[in-house]
Structure 1
Amino acid sequence: MVDARLPSEWLGSIRIDNLSDRAFRVLAGALMWCNGQGTDGIVPLRYTKYLHPDGDDAAAFEELEQAGLWRRDDEGFTLVGWSENLRQSTAEEVQRYREASRRRQKAYRDRRRGIEVAETSEISRASSVSGDVTHNASRDVTADVGSGSLGSAATGKSAYVRRDVTHNADSPFCREHPTGTSEPCGACARARTAFTARQNTIPGLGWDCAVDGHKLVVDGTCAVCDYRPAPAA
């Protein structure tokens, strides 16, 4: 869309002020029509009817001609001094402006497209990293449950793993102390924990120390719960 201009110097101009309202309206209509059509001020006769709501106005046309604002020819009327006196853009200038605007818009879209591609790639990379972390963490946690300081150095398995608790916890004592010991023994402590867990997984063998009392072993500790005797004074 091309806009017609009303130069600021027309305000207070004797030539413009002397125009009748109808003639000024025809002039404004001619400026708008020529800018919209890109004719550089040429108005063919068949289009003069669009310059005023009431159609052709011969008196207004004559008034504009006498004021030197346009001239009549065989084809119609031509506004005088389209770019110099009337301060309007030529069709060539409008075309250059439109091409420059298209280039600016294309450059902007290309920049936006580049930013969006970069953002999409970043999101994809982040999603990939998140997926790898989740997968690996889940796999590692599942594989390593129960392993660690309580596990066997040879197998890397723990007495807390359900399989070991169910099948390998037949005694509250370790293999080195099958009948218990009064000495501190980490293996016995782990065996008691596993033995308790096994009891709690076999129906009918659960034991509640608060009701049934503690199951004391040789060192005075309870084979079921965490009860430990108070040290002697």
Structure 2
Amino acid sequence: MVDARLPAEWLGSIRIDNLSDRAFRVLAGALMWCNGQGTDGQVPSRYTKYLHPDGDDADAFDELERAGLWVRDTDGFRLVGWSTDLRQSTAEEVSRYREGARRRQKEYRDRQRDGRGVDVTDDVTRNVTAHVGSGSSHTRTKKSAYASRDVTDVVTHNADSPFCAKHPTGTSDPCGACARARTALGARENRLTIRGWDCSIDGHKFVTDGTCAVCEFRPHSSAA
């Protein structure tokens, strides 16, 4: 399927604005028909009836001719400036595009069939161990927009401290690690009470330092 274009510069164009609604519809119909048939703007007389729902419209045809948008020839009409003024793709360009698309699709299918489309360097164990469940021996990491960071690195030096390992007595400067420590401590001191929740079945609800906000689970401890 080939789409016809309506150039943005036609909005506000005197030549296009001066067309009647019927003439503009005939013009749009001609663009669509020629693109679909690959005629590069040529509309034989026997097909002009398809350019408007009401069939041939001699007045609209004359109007388009006066506007210089198409000209009469020996067998119908020819749109002027098909690939330049009207900004439409030529039949040759469409053919090259389709051939390129077919070639790329064939190459893709060949790679899939030969196994070349599979990244064999991917660490398959990553997909197996990523969600092995609560209490696994793997270090839990927190993803951010900037980096992958171990959430236990600066918080668990003291489970009851609202400060990080770098600032054991606190600091007046902004510190993200201290903020995480305070969040984790607050979560531990106000553990969630969820009716019917069982960490051994439903999994832990981890807070910033890797501990569970429901039970007594700590990083590197056994699962609940």
TM-score by length of 2: 0.51
CA contact (8 A) 2:71 2:77 kept: yes
Name whichever of 106-115 and 39-48 sits farther off: 106-115
CA distance in 2, matches of 1:2, 1:68: 25
Q: Are the structure 2 counterparts of residues 118 and 63 from structure 1 closer, same or farther at C-alpha, using a change threshold of 3 Å?
A: closer
Give 1:114 deviation, angstroms: 1.4
Give 1:11 deviation, angstroms: 0.8
Gaps of 5+ in 2: 120-224
Task: Give 2:73's aligned residue.
Answer: 73
Counting matched residue pairs gives 119
Give 1:116 deviation, angstroms: 8.4
Is residue 114 from structure 1 mapped to residue 114 from structure 2 by the alignment? yes
Larger relative CO (CA 8 A, sep 6+): 1 or 2?
2
CA distance in 2, matches of 1:95, 1:41: 16
Task: Give 2:17's aligned residue.
Answer: 17
Q: Are the structure 2 counterparts of residues 112 and 22 from structure 1 closer, same or farther at C-alpha, using a change threshold of 3 Å?
A: same
Summarize deviations over 1:55-77 as a string: whole Å, max 9, x none: 00000000000000000112000
Give 1:20 deviation, angstroms: 0.4
Summarize deviations over 1:144-172 as a string: whole Å, max 9, x none: xxxxxxxxxxxxxxxxxxxxxxxxxxxxx
Q: Are the structure 2 counterparts of residues 22 and 101 from structure 1 closer, same or farther at C-alpha, using a change threshold of 3 Å?
A: same
Q: 1:73 is matched by which residue type in structure 2?
A: D
Please list, as runs of the form range in 1=range in 2, the aligned pairs for 1:131-142 lying within 5 A after superposition: none
TM-score by length of 1: 0.49
Structure with the higher fraction of residues in helix conformation: 1
CA distance in 2, matches of 1:116, 1:82: 43
CA contact (8 A) 2:112 2:118 kept: no
SS at match of 1:72: strand
- Which ranges of 4 or more aligned residues in structure 1 deviate by more than 6 Å? 116-119
Q: 1:23 is matched by which residue type in structure 2?
A: A
Sequence identity percentage? 81
SS at match of 2:99: helix
Give 1:10 deviation, angstroms: 0.4
CA contact (8 A) 2:26 2:52 kept: yes
